[in-house]
């Protein structure tokens, strides 16, 4: 059983930056594909970025060039560097760890609010 705890959310002005962190425990972190997802009020949860067990990454078109996902397997941690934030980035951001079809874990989320 993997436990995930996000941190780093908050209120920021449009154009600002935030760095989210996700601390993992209870599993072998390096084995998991890790991702950041977000859910805005009234909308479905969507994938923001994902990183493989190595360093292969992929991003939603809406955040390409502004957000950077990274991981530190020595610290069992996942990060999301968010720059040039926009009001439409406002959402609850979730960390996800998955390994195959049977291991899929989510954190509780952290609120990011971008004011215009």
Give, in order, the Cα–Cα distances in Å from 47 to each of 26, 28, 86. Answer: 24, 23, 17
DSSP-derived 3-state class of residue 30: helix
**Beta carbons of 78 and 98 less than 8 angstroms apart:** no
pLDDT of the residue at 11: 98
Confidence of residue 88 (pLDDT cuts 50, 70, 90): very high
Mean pLDDT of 58-75: 97
| pLDDT computed for residue 101 by the predictor | 87
Residues across the chain: 116
Cα distance between residue 46 and residue 69, in whole Å: 15
Q: Retrieve residue 63's tokens.
A: 């955040």
Q: Flag whether pLDDT at 54 surpasses 90.
A: no
Q: Residue written as tokens 């072998």?
A: 28
């Amino acid at each position: 059983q993997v436990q995930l705890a996000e941190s780093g959310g908050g209120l920021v002005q449009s154009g600002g930056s935030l760095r989210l962190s996700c601390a993992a425990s209870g599993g072998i972190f390096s084995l998991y594909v890790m991702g950041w997802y977000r859910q805005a009020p009234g909308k479905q949860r969507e994938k923001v970025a994902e990183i493989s067990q190595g360093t292969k990454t992929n991003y939603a078109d809406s955040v390409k060039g502004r957000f950077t996902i990274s991981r530190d397997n020595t610290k069992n941690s996942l990060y999301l560097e968010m720059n040039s934030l926009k009001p439409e980035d406002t959402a609850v951001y979730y960390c996800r760890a998955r390994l195959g079809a049977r291991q899929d874990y989510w954190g509780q989320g952290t609120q990011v609010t971008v004011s215009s």
